[in-house]
Each structure stands twice: as C-alpha cells, then as structure tokens.
Chain A
Amino acid sequence: MKNYIKDFRSTNKISQAELATLTGVTRQTINAIENNKYDPSLKLAFDLANILHTSVDELFVNNVEE
C-alpha cells in the first residue's frame, strides 16, 4: 500500500520521532510505514491522518487502484 506520510509530514513540519510519539508507536514503525514495509492497523491509519490534518484515503492509496 502506497502512502504519502512523508509528504504530509514535511508539510506539517513533523519529524518521524514526533509523529511516533503522537501516535504511540516507535519511530521504526513510522519509518517502516513510510517505506511500505508495514501496513498500519485501521486505528493507526486514522490517528496518522488526524495528526497530519488529512484523511485516510488521501494518506494511503491501494496499489491496485493506481
């Protein structure tokens, strides 16, 4: 699943570590999601979208849809 977390992070000027703290996961997990190595749970996806002031469907794109 492709995502735009890195882009939204830089728009909101939030580091991986800050985003990790705000969502209650480790920085390694944020890094894994950004690099498409791990698909987050629905709850984490919504948390990420809320913190980055966007919606889940703008943040994540299923590869099949592209």
Chain B
Amino acid sequence: MSDSKKIVRFTFWMNKIWQIGFVLFSILMINNMRQIAMVTILVSVLASLFEMVYVSRKYHVQVFNQKDELYFAKDERDRDISLKVHSALINTFLLLVIALWLLLSILWGMNSLSMAVLFYVLNGWVACAFIIPDIQYYILWHKYDQQ
C-alpha cells in the first residue's frame, strides 16, 4: 500500500472522530448539556492535533504552511488520482450548497423558518458537508488506487 493511501485511510478515520465530536458538541450545546459538550470538543481538538502531528512525523507531511494542496501525493500517479477525486468532490459540494438553498427556501415559503430551525438546519448541513465528502474521498481513492 502506498504512503498516500495510508494517509488517506488514517486521516479518514481521524477526521470521523473529530467531526462527530464537533457535531455532538453542537447538539449538546443546543440541549444545554454544556459540561459534556466541553469534554466532547476537547476530545475533538485533541484528535485533530494528534492527526496532524502523527501524519507529519510518520509520513513527513507538512499539514501547515504548505504551498501545495496535494501535499500527500508522492508522485504523478497520486496526483492523477487526487485530481480525479477532487473533481468529484467539487460536484458534491455544489449539490450540498444547492440542497441547503432549496431547503431554506422551502422552509421560508412554508413560514417555518425560526431561529431554532435555522440553527438545526445549518448544523445538519455542516455535519453533511463534513462527513459525505470525506466518505466519498475514501471510497473514490480506494477505487482509483488499487495497487
């Protein structure tokens, strides 16, 4: 397995931990469970810090201060795969934005858009925007990189 594939696999699972933590934090804060929410956000932050440190030490990848977005790509085949995956992700993000716009328009049209509803919708959307493209990234990378 190539280093790039290992990085994609590792970051996928680590991303899931901190992303779910962020979503839980939001849900817990809405329900006034602040103490558990603080623990959750702490776990999320620690997980994301561990992810950055581990990737930079084990795979010699600089997550910050990089000029290259495809920092984890080791050669031209990796770059080729990255570009295919990123192209697919742009479409996913576009669909997510259109879905949010439609949902807010429908809620507004039905006079159901209160601040609370807006907060829930935006939270759900952020969760989807975190998780769906990440899953797509993982699946597509494994589809294109079968070595």
Min CB–CB distance B47 → chain A (angstroms): 28
With an 8 A cutoff between CB atoms, is A53 at the interface? no
A56 to B146, CA, bound (A): 26
With an 8 A cutoff between CB atoms, is B69 at the interface? no
**Given A31-B147, A37-B146, A37-B147, are A26 and B80 neighbors across the interface (CB < 8 Å)?**
no
- Residues from 115 to 147 in B contacting A, C-beta threshold 8 Å: 145-147
Contact for A40 among B1, B2, B76, B147, CB less than 8 A? B76
Shortest Cβ distance from A38 into B: residue:
B77
Q: Which residues of A contact B34 (CB under 8 A)?
A: none
Contact for A25 among B1, B3, B77, B145, CB less than 8 A? B77
Residue of B1, B2, B4 with most partner-chain A CB within 10 A = B2
Min CB–CB distance B8 → chain A (angstroms): 13
Shortest Cβ distance from B77 into A: residue:
A29
A32 to B77, CA, bound (A): 9
Q: Number of B residues whose C-beta is below 8 Å from A? A: 13
Shortest Cβ distance from A33 into B: residue:
B77
Q: Number of A residues whose C-beta is below 8 Å from B? A: 12
With an 8 A cutoff between CB atoms, is A63 at the interface? no
With an 8 A cutoff between CB atoms, is B75 at the interface? yes
A32 to B1, CA, bound (A): 12
With an 8 A cutoff between CB atoms, is A61 at the interface? no
Min CB–CB distance B141 → chain A (angstroms): 13
A66 to B103, CA, bound (A): 55
Whether A26 lies near B74 (C-beta < 8 A) is yes
Min CB–CB distance A5 → chain B (angstroms): 14
Contact for A24 among B2, B75, B80, CB less than 8 A? B75
With an 8 A cutoff between CB atoms, is B51 at the interface? no
Q: A-B pairs with the 10 shortest C-beta distances?
A: A28-B147, A25-B75, A29-B77, A28-B2, A26-B2, A26-B74, A32-B147, A38-B77, A29-B75, A41-B76
> Taking beta carbons and an 8 Å cutoff, which residues of B are in contact with A?
1-4, 74-78, 80, 145-147
